[in-house]
Amino acid sequence: MQPPAVPSHIQRLRPYVPGKPIEEVQREFGLTDVVKLASNENPLGPSPRAVEAIRQAIAGNLGLYPDGACFSLTRALAERWNVPQEQLVLGNGSDEIIASLGLVYLGPGSEVLSCHPTFVQYEAAARLNQAEYVTAPLRDHRYDLDALADLLAPQTRLVFIANPNNPTGSIVRRAELERFLNRCPETALVVLDEAYFEYADDPEYPDGLDYVREGRNVIVLRTFSKIYALAALRVGYGISRPEIIRALHQVRQPFNVNTLAQVAALASLDDPEQVTRSRRANAAGAHTLYQAFERLGLPYVETHANFVLFDLRKTARPYFEALLRRGVIVRCGDALGLPTCLRVTIGRPEDNARFLAALEELLAGPLDQADVRAA
Ligand SMILES: Cc1ncc(COP(=O)(O)O)c(C=O)c1O
């Protein structure tokens, strides 16, 4: 008996390749001490209040479904950002909201715009819904919003702008974003993906909510996965016009955000110290990495997030493999369309030191043949 045929647009989808889990690298290379600097997680971990809230929730009744409306968390976020609750939707990570936007707005004949390289889930949302994915190249590692505006067409439904961008850590500034928004037709929704919002401190960094409050066709996405360090629990949110939010509620799963995620996210909002601490440690870590890259003569992109993209100026894959064997997991640029680059998440001081020591050692001599073969 044959299983039903998988439609060709699904067959063509490439599964997301995440940063390697620590346990896998431990198993593969027989290592005990492995540091993961591959997925832009916050190495300081979540607020102790979040951990305590989870502990209490576990002691409660896990047999009950979560609150499908995320009542308390929605109310807290609405207060925090001073927007009506009907303008907020919670998701199983902001990934889910990206996918839901695809379900709501895309289909054959429609187009999604973004710059390349950027966060891969935008392309996935397009392909899953048989929409075209059209990109302009980054310029000097930054979104080129003028080039993106030239691509706007009557069939454009979604425009994804990661600000800061992943994998480069660069930002678009207020003036260029406003120029772009003014060129956008009503038929396109601009998705301002601000997953790293809390790390960005440039005075010209725009707060996407300003444009939502102006009533523009914009949705802002934020997450508890990054600075709040709750990536394991999967919770993110979107803020937009009520009509857009209503449509997202219509397509989402009824219990998309689990109970532990809801209580932890809520408790995190009460701990601004954890955010300040993380931001400060991140800035110091960026500084350490910049200094080392300069000493090593490696070009890098100045970051507004919690990771740094740097250029080895030769094929990066063998270096990625060699770092793995030394117990340091980073992200190889080839998967991101940047084959000579590596992206490293800013870790704790000891993680950064370990990464830099391994990198310096590798750059000082010829690579092991094993690393070259593995690449
Ligand atoms: C730009 C960007 N958007 C969204 C996400 C997804 O975040 P979440 O964990 O909320 O799904 C990431 C995660 O790496 C990201 O880099």
Tens-place pLDDT, residues 30-57: 888 999 999 999 999 999 999 999 999 9
Q: What is the pLDDT of residue 28?
A: 86
What is the longest distance spanned by two Cα atoms in the chain?
63
Q: What is the pLDDT of residue 29?
A: 87
Q: What is the pLDDT of residue 192?
A: 98
Distance of alpha carbon 239 from alpha carbon 220, whole angstroms: 5
Please state the atom number of ligand 1 nearest to the C-alpha of residue 40.
Answer: 14
Question: Residue 25: helix, strand or coil by DSSP?
Answer: helix
Q: What is the pLDDT of residue 140?
A: 96
Encode 186-198: b = buried (16+ Cβ within 10 Å), e = exposed.
eebbbbbbbbbbb
Q: What is the pLDDT of residue 15?
A: 81
The verdict on the CB of residue 223 being under 6 Å from ligand 1 is yes
Please state the atom number of ligand 1 nearest to the C-alpha of residue 235.
Answer: 10
The verdict on the CB of residue 236 being under 6 Å from ligand 1 is yes
How remote is the CA of residue 100 from the centroid of ligand 1, in Å?
14
How remote is the CA of residue 94 from the centroid of ligand 1, in Å?
6
Residue 342, amino acid: L
List the chain residues with pLDDT less than 70: none
By DSSP bridging, strand 331-332 and strand 341-345 are antiparallel
Q: Which helix (H) or strand (E) holds 90?
A: strand 88-91
Please calculate the CA angle 119-124-128 and round it to the nearest 5 degrees.
165
Q: What is the pLDDT of residue 366?
A: 79
Distance of alpha carbon 161 from alpha carbon 158, whole angstroms: 10
Name the packing angle between helices 94-105 and 121-128 (round to 10°). Answer: 30
How remote is the CA of residue 318 from the centroid of ligand 1, in Å?
27
CB count in 10 Å sphere of residue 277: 15
